[in-house]
Structure 1
Amino acid sequence: MFFAPALRTRAYVPARAFDRSFERFLNESFFSPSTSGVKVEQNEEAWTVTLDVPGVSREQLTIDVDGTVVRVATTQDAVRQYQAAYELPAEIDAEATSAKLENGVLTLTLGKKKPVVTSRQIEVK
C-alpha cells in the first residue's frame, strides 16, 4: 500500500478561492469604512446607497435597476464621468425605489422585493 499525499493548490480548488475573493471584495466595498464616497445601509424594507457625485446634475445621471443589480452612470456630456454597478444580496423592487440628488450627493433608496409564497395547502377529500 502506497501513500500519496494530495496537494491542494489554487488550480485544484478554484471555486473556493473565487468565493473568498468575492466575499472580500463585497466586505471591503460595502461594509468597511469607505473612503471612496459610497455608503450602504439597510433596514427591513430597503437599502440606502449614498454616492458622492460632485459636479453632476440630475439630467446627466442614469440609474438602471435589473434584478439584484443597480447601475449608476453619467451621460457622455457630463463634466465628470462616473459609471458603477452594485449587486445586492436580494431582488430590488423597482416600484419602491427612489433617487435624490442634493449638493453632489446621490441618495438611492432601493426597496427590497417581498418574497412570493407559492406553496398552498390542499384539502384531502
Structure 2
Amino acid sequence: MFLVPVGRHSSDFSRSIERLFDEHFFDRFTTPTAADSSARTPALDITETAQAYVVQADLPGVAREDVKVQIEGRRISLSAAVRQDNEARPSERRLYRERASGAFARSFTLPVEIDQSASEARLDNGVLTLTLAKRGAATASQLEVH
C-alpha cells in the first residue's frame, strides 16, 4: 500500500512526482534502443517483366547519398543509413521519440543475373525503385542512385 502524506508539503510532493514523470517517463519507456534501430530491414516488392526486375523498397528518412546498391551477378544488396538529430534544441524539451538513427540492410537473389549498365535506381518520397535489367554475364558493381 502506498500512502501520500497530507499536509503543507503535499503539493510539493505532487509537483515532484509530476516533474519526475514529465522529464523521464517518455524517454525510459518509449525511446528505441540501438538494438531496435539496427534490426530494421526495409519492406520491398519485386515484380518481373520480360526485360527487367522492378524492386521497390521503403526507405523513409534516407538521403539519396546514403543509399548503396551492390550488384554481384544475381545477388542484390541494399544498404542505407538514417541520420536523425539525437539531441533536442536548447529551447525544446523532447516529449516522445519513435524515429531513430540506424541502418537499413537487405539482400536478395534473383533468378537471372543483372546488367548493371542497363539498370537504374531512383529514390523518390522515401521509396527506392530499382529497375534491374536482365543479362547473362556475372560482374560485381555498384549502382548509382538518382
- Which residue of the other structure, out of 101, 105, 116, is the alignment partner of 2:123? 101
TM-score, L = length of structure 1: 0.58
Within 5 Å, which residues of 2 pair with 1:23-102? 37-75=43-81, 79-102=101-124
| Cα deviation code 1:40-67 (max 9, x no counterpart) | 1111000000000000010111111010
Q: Residues 82 and 103 of structure 2 are in contact (CA less than 8 Å); yes or no, is this contact kept in structure 1?
A: yes
Residue identity matched to 1:69: R
Distance 1:76 1:100, change over 3 A: closer
Q: Where in structure 1 are there 5+ consecutive unaligned residues?
A: 1-35, 116-125
Q: Does the CA contact (< 8 Å) of 2:44 and 2:55 recur in 1?
A: yes
Unaligned runs of 5+ in 2: 1-41, 85-100, 138-146
Question: How far does residue 80 in structure 1 lie from its aligned partner after superposition?
Answer: 4.0
Aligned residue pairs total 80
Larger Rg: 2
Using the alignment, how far apart are the partners of 1:60 and 1:46 within structure 2?
25
**Structure 1 residue 97 displacement after superposition:** 1.0
The Cα offsets for residues 75-116 of structure 1, whole Å up to 9 and x where unpaired, read as 48573410111100011111111000000000000000058x
- Percent identity for Structure 1 against Structure 2: 32
